[in-house]
């Protein structure tokens, strides 16, 4: 049976989940905030441990962007509690965000976290949900590949800037090869609008126009990219 994956632009499906911080209702408990829900294959595994350390290390960066983190795996709440205790005791990093316990894989099945790679452990999925409870991004990584947390932060800044400026964001923003840290003007929808477009914006052509972005946000995004590159 093919997996069913909630789609970008849809409301995040309503559900009640058990976490290490108690019962939560999704997406209502995160109304007004951005939510990054991410799954990991299993507790007490090496790549997952490096990811949780990295997420926790950047927790304040997410908070400054009005983002809450929520982990998930098919392990029990008891396993989650013991694992985060181990991380704090042995690695010196406190895990400040909740983790969904899903031993029956009910949440994983609803959200399409179980792929052909394994029938019992989730892939590394990421759902980015906006303050209105709408799914804005869905990312999947295989079990053997850890995620780049700084790139996820950059993507969230880009989405927030796009919302604020009613614009689209170019490749590699804010270091795009064609427009730098500027943003893309949405395509014209009428002949008259296309003719007027080049009069009001900087354009390669009427369908490829750009405008000034948000310098402060661009610099913030660059800081994440530098950190991701180890600079």
**For the domain that residue 209 is a member of, what is the CATH number?**
3.30.1020.10
Which of 146, 181, 216 lies at the terminal end of a domain, its last residue? 146
- pLDDT of 112-138, one tens digit each? 887 767 666 888 999 999 999 999 999
Respond yes or no: is residue 48 known to be catalytic: yes
What domain range is 188 assigned to?
Answer: 158-228
Residue 3 lies in a domain: no
Same domain (yes/no): 136, 194: no
- pLDDT of 60-73, one tens digit each? 999 999 999 999 99
Residue 208 lies in a domain: yes
Which of 123, 146, 169 lies at the terminal end of a domain, its last residue? 146
Total domains in the chain come to 2
Average pLDDT, the chain: 93
3-class secondary structure per residue, the chain: CCCCCCCCCCECCCEEEEECCEEEEECHHHCCCEEEEEECCCCCCHHHHHHHHHHHHCHHHHHHCCEEEEEEECCCHHHHHHHHHHHHHHHCCCCCCCEEECCCCHHHHHHCCCCCCCCCCCCEEEEEECCCCEEEEEEEECCCCCCCHHHHHHHHHHHHHHHHHCCECCCCCCCECCCECCEECCCCCCHHHHHHHHHHCEEEECCEEEECCCHHHHHHHHHHHHHHCCC
Q: Whole-prediction pTM value?
A: 0.92
Instruction: Please identify which of the residues 17, 35, 36, 48 carries the catalytic annotation.
Output: 48
Residue 9 lies in a domain: no
């Amino acid at each position: 049976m093919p997996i069913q994956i909630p789609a970008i632009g849809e409301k995040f499906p309503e559900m009640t989940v058990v976490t290490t911080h108690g019962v939560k209702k999704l997406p209502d408990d995160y109304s007004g905030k951005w939510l990054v829900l991410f799954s990991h294959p299993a507790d007490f595994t090496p790549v997952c441990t490096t990811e949780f350390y990295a997420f926790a290390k950047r927790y304040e960066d997410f908070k400054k962007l009005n983002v809450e983190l929520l982990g998930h795996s098919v392990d029990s709440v008891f396993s989650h509690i013991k694992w985060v205790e181990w991380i704090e005791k042995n690695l010196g990093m406190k895990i400040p965000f909740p983790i969904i316990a899903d031993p029956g894989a009910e949440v994983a099945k609803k959200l399409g976290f179980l792929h052909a790679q394994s029938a019992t452990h989730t892939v590394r999925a990421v759902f980015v949900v906006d303050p209105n409870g709408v799914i804005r991004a869905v990312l999947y990584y295989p079990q053997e590949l850890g995620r780049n947390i700084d790139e996820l932060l950059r993507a969230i800044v880009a989405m927030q800037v796009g919302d604020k400026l009613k614009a689209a964001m170019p490749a590699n923003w804010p270091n795009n090869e064609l427009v730098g840290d500027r943003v893309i003007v949405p395509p014209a929808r009428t002949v008259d609008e296309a003719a007027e477009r080049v009069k009001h914006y900087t354009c390669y052509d009427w369908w490829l126009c750009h405008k000034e972005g948000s310098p402060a946000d661009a610099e913030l995004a660059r800081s994440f990219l530098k950190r991701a590159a180890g600079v």
